[in-house]
Amino acid sequence: MQYYVAICKEYGIEITKNSEVTDHMEIAIVGVGAEVLCHAAAVNARALHAPTDAAGRFWDLLALTRSAVSVPLPDALFARTLLVPGDSDPLRIGSIRAMQVVGCGFSPRDTLTLSGVTGAGRLLCLQRGVLTLCGTLLEPQEFPLGAAFATLEPEHALLAAGVRLLAQ
């Protein structure tokens, strides 16, 4: 964390943290459909249209849609946790400074994926351990997704469910 504090000071970014209360977390979803994803995730997140809108701040959780990682990314993107499509080009997202990167998609390499559909809806599969924003270690397991995720495209459902899961 000291490295990120030093970088944020270098860029003139003020870091304020309250890791106990999710309402005070700095969470952003960036890209096409961000408003819908914020609503589905049911967390206090900012919907931003372009990665440049997220530059110059330290985010607790920064989630980028496929449209956000397909445009040039600014150098000043900082996050404690970065949530991106798992097949994002590492050279494109490599300029983002993050303490934890979580990939979501449909590959066995992705940390978050959909493992199936039940009568109650989709299942989110956590394939390896991750830290939530409050510091809880979540071990690999499956989570049933509610009705809010049923109408979303699978890739958007993954991103929104990942935001909700990590914002715990």
How far is the C-alpha of 135 from the C-alpha of 168, rounded, in Å?
A: 9
Contacts 24+ apart (CB under 8 A), 119-128: 120/144, 121/145, 121/146, 121/147, 121/149, 121/150, 122/149, 122/150, 122/154, 122/157, 124/158, 124/161, 124/162, 124/165, 126/165
Domain boundaries in the chain?
A: 2-166
pLDDT at 83: 95
Q: At what angle do helices 154-166 and 34-41 cross, to 10 degrees?
A: 50
Has residue 119 got a pLDDT over 80?
no
pLDDT tens by residue, 39-84: 988 888 999 999 999 998 899 999 999 999 898 888 889 999 999 9
Which of 20-34, 91-105, 152-166 has the least mean pLDDT? 20-34
| Contact between residue 155 and residue 102 where contact means Cβ atoms under 8 Å apart | no
First and final C-alpha spacing in the chain: 20
- 16: confidence class by pLDDT, cuts 50, 70, 90: very low
Burial class (CB in 10 A: 0-12, 13-18, 19+), 87: middle
